[in-house]
Amino acid sequence: MPTLDLDSIEFDWIEEEINSFIYRENLIKFDKNINSLKSNTYQENYGTGGKGLISIYGSLRLQIAEEIFNQNGESCDEILSTDFFRQNFKSYSSNYFSIVKVMNEFIDLQKIYEKQELLMRSLYLIQGSSFIEIDNVIASENWIFKILEFKDY
């Protein structure tokens, strides 16, 4: 993805631009200068790569309403179930610290040093917006991992 210098964008000029059209005898009005996410359900999805499950960049005006997130999370859950992973890390328990330790070893094996940058950061990652309206977003049973540096005692 190209790098954006979001600090150099002037957002103050963005205003409503209402347009309308008739569809099946109904007048439909919409604002051309706003992006909307409404009434979506995100169920059992994985995210990774230092991004959000949904990443939005440079949407000047954004409206998010009536969204549902259920059982979404970091894709390392997929990694833990691969044959490669099981062959190289034969045993780990299902507790959090054991998983984090094994994920650290797995990432070290790949010689990747910015470990946290590999993981999902949030459900929504929004950058470069001047106006965000969020209403009635429900999130349940979602997860992210935070890499911890810890020592075995």
Residues 39-80 have pLDDT tens digits of 999 999 988 888 899 999 988 889 999 999 999 988 876 666
Question: Sorting pLDDT into bands at 50, 70 and 90, what band is 153?
Answer: very low
Sign of CA dihedral 104, 146, 69, 133: negative
Q: How distant, in Å, are the alpha carbons of 33, 63, 133 from that of 126?
A: 17, 12, 12
118 φ/ψ angles, rounded to the nearest 5 degrees: -80, -20
Note the residue count of the chain: 153
Nearest one of 16, 86, 2, 80 to 48, comparing CA atoms: 80
Tell me what pLDDT residue 114 has: 60
CA distance 13 to 91: 57
Tens-digit pLDDT profile for residues 74-115: 887 666 666 666 666 555 555 556 666 766 676 666 655 566
Instruction: Assess contact for 141 and 71: CB atoms under 8 A.
Output: yes
0.75 exceeded by the pTM?
Answer: no
Element (H, E) at 139: strand 138-140
Question: Domain coordinates of the chain in residue numbers?
Answer: 36-73+120-144, 76-119
